[in-house]
Amino acid sequence: MKRIFFVLVALFVCIYGFAQTPNDIFTEFCQAKKASFVNVPGYMIKLTHLNTAKYRADSLKVLNLGNCSRKVIKRFSKMTAHLNASGYTPIAAKNDKKYYKSQVWLRQKDGAISSILLLRVGKHIGDLIQIDGNLDPNSVSSVIDEDYDSL
């Protein structure tokens, strides 16, 4: 009985230990050869005057692996399969088996959206986008409804 308990505990630790957070994935792949990574801090967003009463983004991270080798994209696909999006709620998923899989997660705090996470993975595609800030849920849902076909 003790042996089974320890095996289950070890299995749980291994599964949880290999789970990747979005920040782990950004850190791992932002230095990959031919990867495009953009991290726009809040003060740069304020300079563009894109923040309004409905949208107040504090940061934007975009990782694009479209020009990387298939080996890098395959590793990205494996790591995102174990994505630990704790605190996020999945709101949309699209699985086109021929080309790619895309997912959208939201993190809410006090009735407002505090973070959006978008993931798109395929044979030749590897994208991860994270938007942090104080975002109006109605505005975000309308944007996702309009643009989800382009994911």
- What mean pLDDT is predicted for residues 45-73? 79
How many residues are listed for the chain in this entry? 151
- Give yes or no for a contact between 60 and 45, defined as CB atoms under 8 angstroms apart: yes
CA distance linking residue 102 with residue 106, whole number of Å? 14
CA distance linking residue 77 with residue 80, whole number of Å? 5
pTM for the full model? 0.76
CA distance linking residue 106 with residue 114, whole number of Å? 8
- What mean pLDDT is predicted for residues 128-139? 81
- Residue range 4-53, pLDDT digits in tens: 655 555 544 454 445 578 888 888 898 899 999 999 888 887 777 665 54
- 10 versus 64: which is more confidently predicted? 64
The phi and psi torsions of 135 (rounded to 5 degrees) equal: -115, 140
Average pLDDT of the chain is 78
95: left (phi over 0), alpha (psi -120 to 50) or beta: beta
DSSP 98: T
- What mean pLDDT is predicted for residues 51-78? 83
Residue 16: what pLDDT?
47
Which of 44-53, 87-96, 115-124 shows the highest mean pLDDT? 115-124
DSSP 148: G
